Amino acid sequence: MASETIALAAAHDVPQPIGTILHDWVTTVDHKKLGILYILYALIFLVIGGIEATIMRIQLIVPHNDFVSPQVFNRMFTMHGTTMIFFVAMPILFGFGNYLIPLMIGARDMAFPRLNAWSFWLTAFGGMLLYFSFIGGNGLYGAGTAPDVGWFAYAPLTATAFSLGHSTDFWTLGLLVSGFGSIGTAINILATIICLRCPGMTLGKMPLLVWLNLVMAAMVLLAISPLTAAQMMLSLDRFLGAHFFDTLAGGSAVMWMHFFWIFGHPEVYVLVIPAFAFASEIIPVFSRKPIFGYPVMVAATICIGFVGFSVWAHHMFTVGMNSYANSFFTITTMAIGVPTGIKIFNWIGTMWGGKIVFKTPMLFCIAFLFQFLIAGLTGIMLSAAPFDWQLGNSYFVVAHFHYVIVGGILFTLFGAFYYWFPKMSGRMYNETLGKLHFWLFLIGFHLTFDFMHVPGLLGMPRRIYTYEPGRGWDIWNLICTIGVFFQIAGTAVFVGNLLWSYFKGKAAGNDPWDAWTLEWSTSSPPVEYNFARIPIVKSRRPLWDIKHPEDPDWKYE
């Protein structure tokens, strides 16, 4: 068994001219290089989206502030939301999926390597198209630069009557193009997982990360399609005089909301399920125990995948649906808390009786558990339609979904970065800097997003570029903005750590965490085509079986 999983010898010692290296990266169809391209591309946009958030927080530090004009502020929140969802979160998660899935299922590449490259470059082009709006958005009308319609771009603000120039078109086309990239990647992930598993890896023996990415990819396929359709309809409205959403000509604003949120809510699960996937790999390894309740974890994920498509209109409790529709979306939304809760309990079950090692990846995952608990509970509050009539579109909602996206997804992503960095780069990161990053970011996150709930309860709506003094909002906004600077410091430490470790870090070795899944049996970084011989597995933890031949998992599973 052991000899079968030995990797090809590393062959990267020969220095090559920079032109050749660049050419290799641009033309690559290797899933690992594409994964890294996705991740680097997303990191650049993470910094850009972060700068946009910082501009907003500085503007809101005191009431009646004049740091930026309302027009600029509106562009900032539109670009921040669009960037973070479509050009940070999705590509970064696709990047990790691309990199890890073939390695974890014992495959030599994705099922469709050229589709893979095509998808990445489409996504990359979509992001550039969106940002080109800063230059090209003026169009022939001399109006508007970057889009300022909000990231969910409610009709009829996007109609030609209210959005002059081409800013909305850049938004539409940017998302349309990157949406096709996402669909390509989703098809690729599905095909890879279904067809390319190594001998012995039945569906029930796949690592949880692979299972969760399978569900995620299926959801992408179903969720991106209505968004793509809606973007096309919007373009028809704007260019060919169609009237789908053009209310001045009898179109329906509410129809856009339905189209957007039947994409938009599953999208939340598309982002959070890969985050669950990271936690499901990292927590067992650092607790030194197998995942608790593997089949239940899989079932809960599939359940989330299905129920996730029946909750979208909880974003629309205030649009005047009748009381039966409001009740329906209340119960479905509350119901999705059950499988999510089961996941949290199973992670606790995994840690229970273990020997927890507090390395940086585990710290981020533990913080994720606490924060996701709170995010889930504020989600329950928002699912009660009448409570949402007060909380919806207020800063409470902003705090809630940042708790999900930053406190949940970004924290596990940071954990994933530290966990797989040794595999991807062959170097160990600096543990002290990693912990410094963790604590700075933890403090910053809680300062910003804990206290952001309060102005929401005090009646502060989102997306306002300034606010009146005397409404009890000032102090909380001040604290939120202070937290941002801790987050910036943390992120700077993170980027510095990655750069420093990439050049100066200690050699990591093949399996620095004494882990159990197949990627740790390859060299660090893995060579092209990953495995000299396709491994054969007998359990969910093939490397455990090799390391503990006297007590292998397959006897018990």
Partner 1 sequence: MVQKIHFNSQSRIQASWIKWASFLLASYWFAPQTVFGNPQDPSQIPNIFKPQSTPAHSIFQLSLFVLAICAVIFVIVFSLLAYSVIKFRRRANDDGREPPPIYGSNQIELAWTVIPVLIVLVLFLATARVIHGIQQAKPPAEAIEVIAVGHQFWWEFRYPGLGVVTANELHVPASDPAHPTPTFITLLSADTDHSFWVPRLAGKTDLIPNRENHMWMDPNEPGIYVGQCAQYCGTQHAKMLLRVYVDPPDKFRQWIEEQSKRAQVSESAKEGRRIFETTACINCHAVSGTVADGRFGPDLTHLMSRDTIASGAATNTHENLRLWIHNPETIKPGALMPAMNLKQQDLDAVTAYLETLR
Answer yes or no whether residue 337 interacts with partner 1 by CB under 8 A. yes
Residue 118 in contact with partner 1, rule: CB under 8 A: no
Of the two residues 25 and 154, which places its CB atom closer to partner 1 in the complex? 154
Helix (H/G/I), strand (E/B), else coil: 461? strand
Which of the ranges 9-17, 30-38, 165-173, 472-480 carries the binding residues for partner 1, by CB under 8 A? 472-480
**Minimum distance between the CB of residue 293 and partner 1, rounded to whole angstroms?**
4
Residues between 76 and 115 with contacts to partner 1, criterion CB under 8 A: none
Pick the closest to residue 527 from 6, 8, 37, 117 (CA basis): 8
> Rounded to 5 degrees, what angle do the CA atoms 346, 269, 303 make?
55
What's the farthest any 2 CA atoms get from each other in the chain? 75
What is the closest distance, in whole angstroms, from the C-beta atom of residue 290 to partner 1 in the complex? 5
Q: How far apart, in whole angstroms, are the C-alpha atoms of residue 472 and residue 224?
A: 40
Which bin fits 530, alpha (ψ -120 to 50), beta or left (φ > 0)? left
Distances (CA, A) of 466 to 65, 147, 399, 401, 462: 7, 19, 18, 21, 10
Cis peptide, bond prior to residue 91, ω within 30 of zero:
no
Residues 158-177 that bind partner 1 (CB under 8 A): 162
3-state secondary structure 64-115: CCCCCCHHHHHHHHHHHHHHHHHHHHHHHHHHHHHHHHHHHCCCCCCCCHHH
For 395-446, give the DSSP string: HHHHHHHHIIIIIIIIHHHHHHHHHHHHHHHSBPPPHHHHHHHHHHHHHHHH
> 555: Cβ–Cβ under 8 A, 6 or more apart, which residues?
none
Residue 117 CB, nearest approach to partner 1 (Å):
38
| 356 forms part of the interface with partner 1 (CB under 8 A) | yes
Least distance CB 343 / partner 1 (angstroms) = 10
For partner 1, the binding residue among 2, 16, 71, 194 (CB under 8 A) is: 71
Q: Cβ 475 to partner 1, closest distance in Å?
A: 8
Interacting positions 379-398 with partner 1 (CB under 8 A): 380-381, 384-394
345 lies in the binding site for partner 1 (CB under 8 A): yes
CB nearer partner 1, residue 296 or residue 489: 296
The stretch among 15-23, 169-177, 312-320, 421-429 that binds partner 1 (CB under 8 A) is 312-320
Q: Which position among 79, 208, 219, 342 is part of the footprint of partner 1 (CB under 8 A)?
A: 342
Binding mask 269-308 for partner 1 (x = CB under 8 A): ------------------xxxx-xxxxx------------
* Only segment of 46-54, 182-190, 200-208, 338-346 that touches partner 1 (CB under 8 A): 338-346
Q: Is 327 in the site for partner 1 (CB under 8 A)?
A: yes
Query: Does 504 participate in binding partner 1 (rule CB under 8 A)?
Result: no
Of 1 and 384, nearer to partner 1 (C-beta) is: 384
Per CB under 8 A, contacts with partner 1 among 20-59 are none
Contact 165, 144 (CB under 8 A): yes
Q: CA 21, CA 301: separation in Å to the nearest integer?
A: 40
Q: What distance in Å separates the CA atoms of residue 494 and residue 416, rounded to the nearest whole number?
A: 13
What does the per-residue mask of binding to partner 1 show for 538-557, with x meaning CB under 8 A?
Answer: ----------x----x--xx
Binding mask 442-471 for partner 1 (x = CB under 8 A): -----x--xx-xx--xxx-xxxxxxxx-xx
Q: Which amino acid appears at position 184 of this protein? A: G
